[in-house]
């Protein structure tokens, strides 16, 4: 918690040097060091090596995409509550899911479960276009505003149920899901381009597995990466 207190004090000092328009009035951003440490100790140390993913994690200000009450903990190795019974995943999980997509910069990506907008912000640094769906209206509104305020112009936020994806924007080169359904939604596989990847947590309660679904000319393959614990997917995913 000592690092959290230092970050909170630094954020307060930095905020005092920021003008009313949100532009830096001369004080350096103290969170850059926290992000570097986060990447080095939590992400790189656990095996994520793609330099583009690591750079994106260093650049995106996670503290700007969590509630004010959680900002001092933004770069800690933990998930954080964002309201409405939802959470933002710990940084390593965001990085590992992003890494599994194998993005090169030209892709159209769909995200199911916008949450705070942090995963979408990371994706925006790595892909051409990002389309993200959030079922909770208040979270969708807040994420849309925060992403626009921070300049992530290639992200489009939609409020709605993500179970059936976003067919008007399909096909997608990559899809990432940040809430766990009991099974992989068939519409998401249908909206995945041939050669594309879907990264998704699947399962109920404590029995969830992070899975990579690949769509090839020969068919669909599935690979389990590791165990995870996400909030359950709601909406149509809850049907019997």
Residue 173's alpha-carbon distances to 22, 52, 91, 167, 216, in angstroms, are 35, 17, 23, 13, 12
Phi-psi region of 117 (alpha: psi -120 to 50; beta: other; left: phi over 0): left
Element (H, E) at 211: strand 207-216
| Residues 136, 39, 203, 236, Cα dihedral to 10° | 20
Q: How far apart are CA 148 and CA 81, in angstroms?
A: 22
Q: Among 89, 106, 116, 124, which one carries the catalytic annotation?
A: 89
CB neighbours of residue 200 within 10 Å: 27
Concerning whether 21 is annotated as a catalytic residue, the answer is no
Q: How far apart are CA 215 and CA 28, in angstroms?
A: 45
Which residues are marked as active site?
89
């Amino acid at each position: 918690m000592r690092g959290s207190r230092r970050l909170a004090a630094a954020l307060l000092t930095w905020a005092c040097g920021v003008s009313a328009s949100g532009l830096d009035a001369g004080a350096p951003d103290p969170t850059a060091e926290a992000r570097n440490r986060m990447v080095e100790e939590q992400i790189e140390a656990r095996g994520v090596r793609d330099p583009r993913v690591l750079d994106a994690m260093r650049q995106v200000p996670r503290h700007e995409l969590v509630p004010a009450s959680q900002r001092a903990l933004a770069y800690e190795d933990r998930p954080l509550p964002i309201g409405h019974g939802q959470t933002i995943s710990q940084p390593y999980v965001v990085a590992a899911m992003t890494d599994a997509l194998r993005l090169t910069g030209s892709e159209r990506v769909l995200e199911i479960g916008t949450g705070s907008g942090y995963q979408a912000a990371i994706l925006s640094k790595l892909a051409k276009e990002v389309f993200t769906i959030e079922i909770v209206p208040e979270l969708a509104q807040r994420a849309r505003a925060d992403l626009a305020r921070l300049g992530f112009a290639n992200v489009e936020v939609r409020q709605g149920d993500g179970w059936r994806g976003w067919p008007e924007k399909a096909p997608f080169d990559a899809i990432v899901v940040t809430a766990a359904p009991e099974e992989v939604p068939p519409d998401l596989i249908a909206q995945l381009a041939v050669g594309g990847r879907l990264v998704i947590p699947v399962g109920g309660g404590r029995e969830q597995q992070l899975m990579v679904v690949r769509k090839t000319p020969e068919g669909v393959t599935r690979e389990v990466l590791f165990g995870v614990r996400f909030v359950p997917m709601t909406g149509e995913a809850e049907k019997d």
